[in-house]
Structure 1
Amino acid sequence: MKLLKLVPDNTNIHFLRWRVPFYVISVLLMAASLSLVMVKGLNLGVDFVGGQMIRATFTQSQSVPLGELRETVGKLGYGEPILQQFGKPNEVSIRMKLPAGAEQKPDLANEMTGKITAAIRTTHPDARIDGVDSVSGKVSGELFNTGMLALGLAMVAISIYIWIRFEWQFGIGALFSLTHDVTLTLGLFALTQMEFDLNIVAAILTLIGYSLNDTIVVYDRIRENLKKFRRMPVPELLDLSVNETLSRTIVTSLSMLITLVALLFLGPNVIFGFTAAITLGIFVGTYSSIYMAAPILIWLKVSSASFVPTETALDRQEKLARGQV
């Protein structure tokens, strides 16, 4: 039985022919994403803006009725609650953003907490309120800054690694590709105003890893071909390298997208933002490996000579001694 191949062995798509238009489009999308983040901002979650956390135990139940509890709290008009089981299956934490104006009037936060706990006790008589904790907005702001710093340092460290493993041009290409992916993801959250919390930071770190993995596979093949085909023009060599890794790229991306699309439409709302971020990341990560990371090597003057060892004076002396020159 003949195996099904999504990409035929003789595939020869001229990706680099359209490198300039695609680069222009990508740069414009990055600029639009940054503008959205600056103008509309991100809809920061409790993790980053502070809020109230209510801990409760359902004494007569084996597990927390998350759906009913989310509906009960959501009806109060304070926004969507973040529910998380911890400890035993019948224990839950309920995190809520601070209501508008709570920074100036702390009583508003206490009023919100009182209404939520009263509604929980009324709807679920077996619910025991174990405690109420306040999350400082200042501490949450520091957490946001730390999270963004972690993303930036991760991208820089990855670029340094690629620089050491390949050449400096490859490090710059990888950094630009990762910046492209992260910027478009932030633009999505600024445009849709989906909640941006620590789960989304984890999703962005995940897509950085995916995009990097895809980029390294393409770069490794480019390096091999630069050593093998020294007289081939660089654009043609890059096309050859991308086509040779295309089958692996498509199979890997489709495998992940099948699961992610199912989660996107059938999964719970609480992980929708996380799933949406990774789903977009698969698309932009695959795209950037082909149209961001590869074409930039042309403008950075990568050639077959980039991987030819530099001959030192000692090498020349040894050749003279052996009569090879």
Structure 2
Amino acid sequence: MRLIRLFPDDSKFRFVRWRVLSFPFSAAISVITVVLFLTIGLNFGIDFTGGTLMELQSKSGVADVGKVRETAHGFEAGEVEVQEFGSDGQVSIRFRTQPGGDAAQSALVSKARAAFEGEYEVRRVETVGPRVSGELVQAGTLGVVLSIVSVLIYLWFRFELTLAIGAVIGTLHDIVLTVGFFIITREEFNMTSIAAILTIVGYSLNETVVVFDRTRELLRRYKNIPTEELLDLSINHTMSRTVMTATTTALSLLALVLFGGQAIQGFANVMLFGVVICTYSAIFVSSPMLIYLGLKTAARAAADEKAEADAKAAQVRA
């Protein structure tokens, strides 16, 4: 039985030449993201801006999360997070910090108690202030930075320095574009978003390392072909695996986007975008970047040495 191939095994598509379009495109999007980040900023969620957490226990033992969410949104208190947790009808509700200060926050809690006390018992009410929110921002940022540094150290041992730098550049590119997705779509940025970014970092490295591993193997095997041709060859050799991985992952995430519900909607949207960006990056950004980082086959190195020697000889004759 012949297996289904999403990409031909004997393909000879010239991916690297598309860097004349992919590099300006990625650079432009990255610059726009930085400008928007400095001017508009992220749409921080309750985890980062502070707010009030209420935990409810259904008196009947079964919680109608949809009805609770509809009632909570009816308070017109801004963004509200409603999630079911644990078992036996436990529900958590998170409200943003209200503009009117403590008085407005207390009024909102009283309104929520009155709305839910018939069917639910209020187990806990907790307020998260700006100080705690600031600590969460610092912890989340530190987590992303440490993950990138750890990845750089790993790649330095896993590959030679040129390949390691190329992989890190591709990963940073994916993080910047993901942040741009948050800014443009105004998707709420919370602790789940930090988890999504770290997951995208792992996926990005997985895609890039597969291609770079084949590149390193071909560097030993083919010593007399141009660098661009070698990079195209490594991408084509791994393209079937890349397409299969991206397709199956995207289909799973698409199911979460369509049927996962509001609780994980944001996470699924970001991850689906991340899979597309990581696949694009591994093919059209990270691999072509190796040319500018100085990756050379034996043939390219010999040609450069000959050109340098000819230039020196011409200077001597002059």
User: Does the alignment pair 1:217 with 2:216?
Assistant: no
Percent pairwise identity: 38
Which residue pairs with 2:53 in the alignment? 53
User: Does the alignment pair 1:279 with 2:279?
Assistant: no
User: Does the alignment pair 1:85 with 2:84?
Assistant: yes
| Contact 1:156/1:175, CA 8 A, preserved across alignment | no
User: Does the alignment pair 1:120 with 2:113?
Assistant: no
**2:24 match: secondary structure:** helix
Counting matched residue pairs gives 298
Instruction: Specify the code of the residue in structure 1 equivalent to 2:83.
Output: Q
Instruction: Specify the code of the residue in structure 2 equivalent to 1:233.
Output: P
Q: Report the alpha carbon displacement of residue 101 of structure 1 after superposing the two structures with TM.
A: 4.1
| Contact 1:82/1:96, CA 8 A, preserved across alignment | yes
| Contact 2:226/2:297, CA 8 A, preserved across alignment | no
**1:53 match: secondary structure:** strand
Which residue pairs with 2:2 in the alignment? 2
**Structure 1 stretch displaced more, 86-95 or 21-30:** 86-95
| Contact 2:83/2:263, CA 8 A, preserved across alignment | no
> Which runs of no fewer than 5 residues in structure 1 stay unpaired?
306-325
Aligned equivalents of 1:72 and 1:41: distance in 2? 30
Aligned equivalents of 1:148 and 1:15: distance in 2? 34
- TM-score, normalized by length of structure 2? 0.90
Which residue pairs with 2:93 in the alignment? 94
Aligned equivalents of 2:265 and 2:282: distance in 1? 26
User: Does the alignment pair 1:172 with 2:128?
Assistant: no
Aligned equivalents of 2:203 and 2:59: distance in 1? 43
Pairing of 1:1-325 with structure 2 (within 5 A): 1-60=1-60, 62-102=61-101, 106-121=102-117, 125-304=118-297
Aligned equivalents of 2:262 and 2:120: distance in 1? 23
| Contact 1:16/1:295, CA 8 A, preserved across alignment | yes
Aligned equivalents of 2:88 and 2:173: distance in 1? 41
Instruction: Specify the code of the residue in structure 2 equivalent to 1:284.
Output: I
CA-to-partner distance for each residue in 1:118-164, whole Å, 9 max, x for gaps?
A: 1222xxx1311122111121111111121012112211211221111
Aligned equivalents of 1:242 and 1:165: distance in 2? 19
Aligned equivalents of 1:21 and 1:126: distance in 2? 59
- TM-score, normalized by length of structure 1? 0.89
Aligned equivalents of 2:76 and 2:112: distance in 1? 10
CA-to-partner distance for each residue in 1:293-319, whole Å, 9 max, x for gaps?
A: 1111111111246xxxxxxxxxxxxxx
